[in-house]
């Protein structure tokens, strides 16, 4: 059982949609010359974000997923990152965009970038919906960030607390009662 909590809205569904539209514009410019962009969602937290993002990208896209272990069911990050599910497709010589929900310590994204870079993509960029810069323990930075947020535990828009609240349409802050 998790401790009782309430969720306070931090970023509205409308703000998220507006930000994604702006980010998609920048991504389209960066990958303007691509014949096909491989958009890689990191499971499970990015599933809502990737769904909205790809629908704003009028590029030829292929969608793939990768799952790396991070929190388990707790609120503490782990330094050891394991790949639980690898990509189905090859990325050698291709344009790749990795889509992450939150960059916290940065260990997850750092590990994934090193792994994918070793497969020699033509171009490898990253986008994170949320960034908690004060929590960083690595020197990783996403190519694009939706919103910088303070050190708060958040849920919604695909992001969970112990597998709950992924279906909220907004980003909310967890407050224990």
Active site residues: 104
Q: Is 165 an interacting residue with respect to ligand IMP (CB under 6 A)? A: no
Give the closest residue to 88 by CA, choosing from 63, 52, 122. 63
Q: Is 45 an interacting residue with respect to Mg ion (CB under 5 A)? A: yes
The entry of Mg ion, ligand IMP, none that residue 143 binds, CB within 5 to 8 Å by partner kind: none
The answer to whether 61 and 93 have CB atoms below 8 angstroms apart is no
Task: Read off the tokens for 6.
Answer: 């309430």
Helices (H), the chain: 13-30, 47-56, 107-117
Task: Pick the piece of the chain touching ligand IMP (CB under 6 A) from 27-35, 89-97, 103-111, 163-171.
Answer: 103-111
The answer to whether 52 and 157 have CB atoms below 8 angstroms apart is no
Give the binding-site size for ligand IMP (rule: CB under 6 A): 16
Task: Pick the piece of the chain touching ligand IMP (CB under 6 A) from 1-9, 19-27, 53-61, 101-109.
Answer: 101-109
Q: Is 108 an interacting residue with respect to ligand IMP (CB under 6 A)? A: yes
Residue 176, classed as helix, strand or coil, is strand
Binding site for ligand IMP (CB under 6 A): 45, 70-71, 77, 100-108, 153-154, 159
């Amino acid at each position: 059982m998790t401790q009782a909590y309430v969720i306070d809205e931090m970023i509205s569904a409308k703000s998220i949609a507006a930000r994604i539209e702006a980010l998609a514009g920048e991504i389209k410019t960066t990958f303007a010359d691509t014949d096909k962009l491989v958009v890689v969602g990191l499971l499970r937290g990015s599933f809502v974000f990737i769904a909205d993002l790809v629908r704003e990208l009028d590029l030829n896209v292929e969608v793939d997923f990768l799952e790396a272990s991070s929190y388990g069911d707790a609120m503490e990050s782990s330094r050891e990152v394991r790949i639980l599910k690898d990509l189905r497709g090859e990325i050698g010589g291709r344009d790749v965009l990795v889509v992450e929900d939150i960059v916290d310590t940065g260990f997850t994204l750092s590990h994934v970038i090193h792994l994918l870079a070793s497969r020699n993509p033509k171009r490898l960029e990253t986008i994170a919906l949320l960034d908690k810069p004060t929590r960083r323990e690595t020197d990783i930075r996403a190519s694009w960030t939706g919103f910088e947020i303070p050190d708060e535990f958040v849920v919604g828009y695909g992001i969970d607390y112990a597998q709950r609240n992924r279906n909220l349409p907004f980003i909310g802050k967890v407050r224990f009662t």
